[in-house]
């Protein structure tokens, strides 16, 4: 199998469970606060490795004690970490609150992620033997764009998940093999208010017209919608589970999807595999702590058939 390369963020998540989110100015009690390895980039790398892919991570952690914990967590979960740099200062930190419905809100402090430069990526990355590069929006945007251009120039597929949401320049779309967005990100990028499969299809048509080769719009409990410039369309339902914590569900979907594609699965099969991985992840607390391995995903799929 060719390898996947994730270029992105590594965070320590400080996760507090609450009954409901505090109002502005309100002080509330948390039932529990934990430190859990996270970061959209690192989560996607863990999801890909746990789903069976050979996966490397390029990014940075700080010279603080969190840095070692975060790199160790990636290594333990099967991710190659030779390209995770140590930068002066703190690691990335995400303050996460999870309510009783399993919903979250997140405040990011970039730390070392904000110091990952174009030069770092150019010196770290070897594209040979890479099936796809996975990128998000938690390291400097100029670095992400430079990595996208470099991957595309070397014939490596680019899977872009622009999260947190941001608008994309027109000239980026033709460089994308797969744009992966949730409802919020789809709306920011395309201007289409996405709430169901029909509106996801409208947003997808907009992105394909701009030149993306394919797009996946994830719709939470409503599953996901896939469309390609070659004319393929697929709406894949979500599996019904009781959510405990939705943190990293999207990251798990993306990492598992990329792993399935690298393994040669057909698109619709890869989407079902990814949906199963995400369904398992939302039944468990935390980011990387919630991500299932390939055997669990396959057993879940059998149990649902």
CA 269 to chain centre: 19
CB distance 273 to 257 below 8 Å: yes
Residues in contact with ligand RIB, total (CB under 6 A)? 15
3-state helix, strand, coil in the chain (%, to 5): 40, 25, 35
CB distance 165 to 35 below 8 Å: no
For the bound state, the minimum distance from the C-beta of residue 165 to ligand RIB, rounded and expressed in Å, comes to 12
For the bound state, the minimum distance from the C-beta of residue 233 to ligand RIB, rounded and expressed in Å, comes to 27
* 74-113 binders of ligand RIB (CB under 6 A): 94, 106
The catalytically annotated residue of 120, 177, 245, 251 is: 251
Using CB under 6 A as the binding rule, whether residue 59 contacts ligand RIB is answered as no
CB distance 39 to 113 below 8 Å: yes
- Residue of 5, 99, 42 whose CA lies nearest to 289: 42
For the bound state, the minimum distance from the C-beta of residue 134 to ligand RIB, rounded and expressed in Å, comes to 13
Using CB under 6 A as the binding rule, whether residue 62 contacts ligand RIB is answered as no
Residue with tokens 């934990």: 34
Q: Which of 83, 156, 251, 259 binds ligand RIB (CB under 6 A)?
A: 251
Q: Which of 39, 111, 223, 255 binds ligand RIB (CB under 6 A)?
A: 39
Residue with tokens 């409990």: 221
Q: Which of 71, 248, 254, 262 binds ligand RIB (CB under 6 A)?
A: 248
Phi/psi region, residue 196 (left: phi>0; alpha: psi -120 to 50; beta: rest), is beta
DSSP symbol at 79: -
- Using the minimum distance from each CB to ligand RIB, give the nearer residue, 64 or 138: 138
Using CB under 6 A as the binding rule, whether residue 255 contacts ligand RIB is answered as no
Q: Which of 247, 252, 289, 290 binds ligand RIB (CB under 6 A)?
A: 247
For the bound state, the minimum distance from the C-beta of residue 270 to ligand RIB, rounded and expressed in Å, comes to 20
For the bound state, the minimum distance from the C-beta of residue 11 to ligand RIB, rounded and expressed in Å, comes to 4
- Residue of 214, 246, 218 whose CA lies nearest to 232: 214
Using CB under 6 A as the binding rule, whether residue 73 contacts ligand RIB is answered as no
CA distance 165 to 186: 8
Any alpha helices (H) in 132-182, and if so which ranges? 141-153
- Using the minimum distance from each CB to ligand RIB, give the nearer residue, 222 or 246: 246
Using CB under 6 A as the binding rule, whether residue 175 contacts ligand RIB is answered as no
- Residue of 186, 169, 182, 300 whose CA lies nearest to 246: 182
User: Is 263 known to be catalytic?
Assistant: no
Site string for ligand RIB, 257-296 (x = CB under 6 A): ------------------------------x---------
DSSP symbol at 276: H
DSSP symbol at 94: E
- Using the minimum distance from each CB to ligand RIB, give the nearer residue, 147 or 227: 147
* Strand-pair partners of 178: 159
Residue with tokens 């990128």: 135
Binding site for ligand RIB (CB under 6 A): 9, 11, 13, 38-40, 43, 94, 106, 138, 247-248, 250-251, 287
Residues identified as active-site: 251
């Amino acid at each position: 199998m060719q390898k996947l390369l994730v270029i992105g963020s590594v965070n320590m998540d400080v996760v507090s469970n609450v009954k409901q989110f505090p109002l502005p100015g309100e002080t509330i009690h948390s039932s529990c606060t934990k430190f859990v390895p996270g970061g959209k980039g690192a989560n996607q790398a863990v999801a890909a490795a746990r789903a069976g892919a050979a996966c490397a991570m390029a990014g940075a952690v700080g010279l603080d004690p969190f840095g070692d914990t975060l790199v160790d967590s990636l290594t333990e979960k099967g991710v190659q970490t030779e390209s995770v740099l140590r930068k002066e200062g703190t690691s990335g930190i995400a303050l996460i609150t999870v309510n009783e419905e399993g919903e979250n809100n997140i405040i990011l402090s970039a730390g070392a992620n904000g110091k990952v430069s174009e030069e770092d990526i150019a010196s770290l990355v070897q594209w040979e033997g890479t099936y796809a590069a996975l990128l998000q929006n938690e390291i400097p945007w100029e670095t992400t764009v430079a990595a996208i251009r470099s991957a595309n120039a070397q014939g490596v597929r680019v899977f872009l998940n622009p999260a947190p949401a941001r608008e994309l320049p027109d000239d980026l779309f033709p460089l994308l093999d797969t744009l992966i967005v949730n409802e919020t990100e789809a709306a920011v990028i395309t201007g289409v208010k996405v709430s169901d499969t029909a509106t996801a299809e409208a947003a997808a048509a907009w992105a394909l017209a701009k030149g993306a080769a394919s797009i996946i719009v994830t719709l939470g409990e409503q599953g996901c919608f896939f469309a390609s410039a070659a004319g393929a369309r697929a709406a894949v339902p979500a599996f019904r589970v009781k959510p405990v914590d939705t943190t990293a569900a999207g990251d798990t979907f993306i990492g598992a999807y990329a792993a399935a594609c690298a393994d040669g699965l057909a698109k619709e099969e890869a989407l079902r595999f990814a949906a199963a991985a995400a369904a398992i992840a939302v039944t468990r607390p935390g980011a990387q702590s919630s991500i299932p391995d390939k055997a669990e995903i396959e057993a879940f799929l059998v149990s649902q058939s």
